Chain A
Amino acid sequence: MLDFVGKRYWYFLFSALIIIPGIISLLIPPALKLGIEFSSGSSMTVAFEASIEQADLRQELENLGHAEAIIQRTGEGDFLIRTKALEPEVKDEAGTVVTPAERETVETALRDRFGPLAVLSFDSVSPTIAAGIVRNAIIAVALASVGILLYITWAFRRLPSPFRYGVCAIVAMVHDALVIVGLFSIFGKVFNIEIDSMFITGVLTIIGYSVHDTIVVFDRIRDNLTKGVSRSFEVTVNRSILETLGRSLTTGLTVLFTLLALYLFGGVTIHNFILVLLIGVVSGSYSSIFNASQLLVVWENNDIGKFIQRVRPARVPAKPRG
């Protein structure tokens, strides 16, 4: 029989190897590259009839006073132009336009220089709306965690210490959230991938998936404990993981295939969102088996307590400073 539980500290090490670089990246500002939804600014997708050079477009935007503009070519050959928030039009008391909206100025200038164009999408966010969203998301996650913790504790109430199952499921969930947020912090620095509200949706989705997946494995542990398949908790958990392995692989892979199809063939607008889900599903499936279940064993065996006891006598008493 495969021994999953025996190597538990290796899995924790593996998780740490992925999460720690992410946390380090989060500590180096900017923690995440925020899209205009959170940081304010304007963003437009422009399709030109003529084929034009990115450098020329940049030059023109600089002439317009937007040296800060970020210009990207999309898959379809359109240009995504991000600038600080474009000014709305200014009117005097009588209602006559003194300065036209900056968007119109930019459009006209680009049209004069590069010929006919179409603005495919335009987003603009003022700085005030950006505040509060992240805080609300964190509150939502905290609330969801409490709800899930309570539910799992209730669902496992017939087992000794049902609270542990809830806690371990939440720890695995936090693990998955950290993997995504950490990786996207790195992606933001390396590939310029920005965080938008779809990203928050994605993280929340993965939180749901992670708990869903963990509960399936925990359910088997509950089943096997009730049946009394072994006296050893460690053996029971190992056996439960093995018994649900077929299901874990099948489900994990089918979801992965669907997401992969969406990632490869789906619209550009959902690309980063699907990437969040792809990473999250892998992490969520991994953490159910290799983190959540293993943590139960660590807790049951009081590994940490033993570890501390083992270390303590070995400690050399510090010499008083002279």
Chain B
Amino acid sequence: MPRRNTRIFIGIIILTALALFLVWPRQIDVTVPGVGPFKRDVMRLGLDLQGGTELVLQADLSRLEAEDRQPAMQSVLRIIDDRVNAFGVSEPVIQQQGENRISVQLAGVKDIAEAKKLIGQTARLEFVERTFDQDGNPTDTPTGLTGADLKRASSGLHPTNNTPIVNLEFTDQGAKIFEEVTTRLAGTTGEIAIFLDNEELTSPTVKQAISGGKAYIEGGNMTLESARILAIQLNAGALPVPLVIEKERSVDATLGADSVRKSILAGEIGLGIVLLFLLLYYRLPGFLAGLALVIYTILVLTIFKLWPVTLTLAGMAGFILSVGMAIDANVLIFERMKEEARRGKTPRAAIEAGFDGAWPAVRDSNISTFITCIILIWFGNSFGATLVKGFAYTLFIGVAVSMFSAIFITRTFLRLFANSRVVENRRLFGW
């Protein structure tokens, strides 16, 4: 037992050192000789902490068939992604929430009037007739054919040679215009260029005049994946999905920074009081628990960073609550140890009995917290409260690590002393 304990102790030290290295708040980007590149990022902060803007858009899907809704949302997401990237925001977060909502988070952006105009537009699909003169200079002529004329696009395989294609299906009105255009272009070098939001998607040539409103795009070096993406993009323009900005929220970076600074200071004060209390009330075990808590904090922050968890104010609250629960686990154990020692057990036996006796309470109470967390994560997902989700994630991780910390770290530390003569000194243990 003693030897095994020493090994665990060394393991904890190594783990802590590694974690400390990973969470140290400075960015590094180096190449370790023989290992490869290594990049250490800074902690990801939510909008409320670093400032920025969040928009919640609602897509109006009422005019679409049920089976078209999810593909339409997918294409809307893609379009918004393209638009936001064109806007040049670093690391935008674009997520679908529930059936028809999209949340767009733009860190660091404050003046968003321009972004809002851009993001809130319905996608515009246009078919353009492109002819070339003798020198190969293109001339684009609008055909009047737009997304409203395209019924649906889907990816599939060519019926005879099995290569990936994109099927197009036009409305009656669209079929008429399409027939005219293809009649003009058939057999020439001319192309039909397809634009989505003024960005050219593809420009196939026309083999023959197409009537009846059904066509497909083939060839080039189209793969299954690129055919699928093209179909999604075409649908985005074909299925008219008007977007409405339902909610917008912008936080000035200084307000966020101020809030962080104050809350961190407050957290430190709180933690300081708790550590002092543990030390005075429980003496040596309290000191060891304090040490375990510091290691605990480093480990939790490391997981936040590696996961990665975007840290928000609510997330910090979840973390603080988990610190409280970690302390509770230690308190439960120490109180048990004290009881066992007063009942006349030897110090070493009291330490073991304390852990064994406290374990069911720690386990059952933490599992109930896990249950709550899982339901909160579900809840956050379903109504799009990133806030609630952030809280539940940090609490979940925190409580999981707290069980590890109480049972593994504190116990290992105490066992180290249990084998020395220090345990004979009852005053050190406050027994």
Contact = CB atoms under 8 A, between A and B. Distances in A.
A155 B364 contact: yes
Nearest to B360: A219
B317 A205 contact: yes
Nearest to B332: A247
A139 B376 CA distance: 11
Contact of A144 (B318, B372, B383): B372
A208 B271 contact: no
B58 interface: yes
Interface stretch (A7-15, A121-129, A176-184, A293-301): A121-129
A76 B378 CA distance: 37
Contact of B258 (A123, A200, A207, A267): A267
B323 A211 contact: no
B200 interface: no
A221 B58 CA distance: 52
Contact of A119 (B58, B252, B391, B395): B252
A254 B324 contact: yes
A243 B335 CA distance: 9
Contact of B48 (A143, A262, A269): A269
A147 B327 CA distance: 25
Interface string B81-97: 00000000000000000
Interface in A73-102: 76, 88, 101
A73 to B, nearest CB: 15
A164 interface: no
B249 interface: yes
Contacts of A139: 379
Contact of B361 (A151, A201, A220): A220
A268 B263 CA distance: 9
Interface of B: 48, 56, 58, 101, 113, 244-252, 254-255, 258-263, 265-267, 269-271, 273-274, 277, 281, 313-314, 317-318, 320-321, 323-325, 327-328, 331-332, 335, 339, 357, 360-361, 364-369, 371-373, 375-376, 378-379, 382-383, 385, 387-388, 391, 395
A207 B383 contact: no
B368 A270 contact: no
Contacts of A287: none
Contacts of A140: 375-376, 378-379
B274 A258 contact: yes
| 8 shortest interchain CB distances as A-B pairs | A267-B259, A258-B270, A261-B270, A265-B266, A219-B361, A140-B379, A266-B266, A208-B372
A205 B321 contact: yes
Given A129-B247, A257-B274, A257-B277, A208 B373 contact: yes
Contact of A152 (B259, B269, B361, B368): B368
Contacts of A207: 372
A120 B254 CA distance: 8
B368 A211 contact: yes
Contacts of A49: none
A122 B249 contact: yes
A212 B365 contact: yes
Nearest to A200: B388
Interface in A104-140: 104, 118-126, 128-129, 132-133, 136-137, 139-140
B274 A254 contact: yes
A121 B388 contact: no
Nearest to B388: A201
Contacts of B383: 132-133, 136
Given A133-B383, A247-B331, A264-B266, A121 B255 contact: yes
A270 B259 contact: yes
Contacts of B376: 140, 144, 204
B115 to A, nearest CB: 13
Given A121-B252, A270-B313, A101 B58 contact: no
14 contacts: A104-B113, A123-B247, A129-B101, A151-B364, A151-B367, A200-B388, A205-B318, A208-B395, A211-B372, A251-B324, A253-B277, A266-B266, A267-B263, A270-B317
A289 to B, nearest CB: 15
Given A121-B251, A129-B247, A265 B269 contact: yes
A120 B266 contact: no
B270 A212 contact: no
A197 interface: yes
Nearest to B390: A201
B388 A269 contact: no
B120 to A, nearest CB: 9
A289 B261 CA distance: 37
A269 B313 contact: yes
Which of B56, B375, B385, B387 has its CB near the most chain A CB atoms (within 10 A)?
B375
A118 B314 contact: no
Contact of A267 (B249, B260, B378): B260
A212 B273 contact: no
A124 to B, nearest CB: 5
Contact of A219 (B250, B339, B364, B395): B364
Contacts of A148: 368, 371-372
A244 B113 CA distance: 58
A303 interface: no
A268 B258 CA distance: 9
Contact of B387 (A118, A136, A201): A201
A172 to B, nearest CB: 12
Nearest to A44: B250
Contacts of B324: 251, 254-255, 258
A45 interface: yes
A152 B363 CA distance: 12
A266 B247 contact: no
Nearest to A269: B259
A304 to B, nearest CB: 27
B368 A136 contact: no
Interface string A152-194: 1001000000000000000000000000000000000000000
Contacts of A76: 258
Contact of A137 (B247, B252, B265, B379): B379
A24 B365 CA distance: 33
A207 B277 CA distance: 26
A265 B262 contact: yes
A124 B269 contact: no
A261 B269 contact: yes
Contacts of B369: 208, 211-212
Given A129-B246, A132-B383, A258 B320 contact: yes
A48 interface: no
Given A259-B270, A262-B267, A268 B259 contact: yes
B270 A257 contact: yes
A255 B326 CA distance: 11
A233 interface: no
Interface string A218-243: 01101100000000000000000001
